[in-house]
Amino acid sequence: MTTETDRIHIVLVPGSWLGAWAWDGVVGPLRAAGMKPHAVTLPGLEHADTNRAGITREDHVRAVRDVVEGLPPGIVLVGHSGGGALVHAVVDQVPDRVRRAIYVDSGPLADGAVLAPDLPADATEQPLPSWEDLDAAGSSLDGLDAEARAAFRARAVPQPAGVARGPVRLSDPRRFGVPVTEICTSLPSAVLRTMISPDSPLHTELDELDVTYVDLPTGHWPMFSRPADLAAEIVAAARA
Q: What residue segments make up the domains of the chain, in order of their start?
A: 4-239
Confidence band (pLDDT; 50, 70, 90) for 1? very low
pLDDT at 200 over 80: no
- How far apart are alpha carbons 138 and 140 in whole angstroms? 6
Q: Strands 159-160, 125-126: parallel, antiparallel or unpaired by DSSP?
A: antiparallel
Task: Please tell us whether the domain made up of 4-239 is placed in CATH 3.40.50.300.
Answer: no
90-134 pLDDT, tens digit per residue, is 999 999 999 999 999 999 999 999 998 889 888 999 999 999 999
56-65, 66-75, 133-142: least confidently modelled range? 133-142
pLDDT of residue 198: 59
Residue 216 CA: distances (Å) to CA of 112, 143, 219: 29, 12, 9
Backbone φ and ψ for 9, nearest 5 degrees, come out as -80, 125
199 vs 118, higher pLDDT: 118
The answer to whether 71 touches 151, Cβ cutoff 8 Å, is no
Among the listed residues 63, 46, 43, 45, the one whose alpha carbon sits nearest the alpha carbon of residue 55: 43
- How far apart are alpha carbons 112 and 165 in whole angstroms? 11
- How far apart are alpha carbons 34 and 240 in whole angstroms? 14
Strand extents, DSSP E, 193-239 = 211-215
User: How large a percentage of the chain has pLDDT more than 90?
Assistant: 85
**Residue 200: CB partners within 8 Å, gap ≥ 6?**
none
Read off the pLDDT of each residue in 138-161 and give the average, rounded to a whole number. Answer: 94
pLDDT at 17 over 80: yes
pLDDT at 187 over 80: yes
Backbone φ and ψ for 152, nearest 5 degrees, come out as -60, -50
Confidence band (pLDDT; 50, 70, 90) for 186? very high
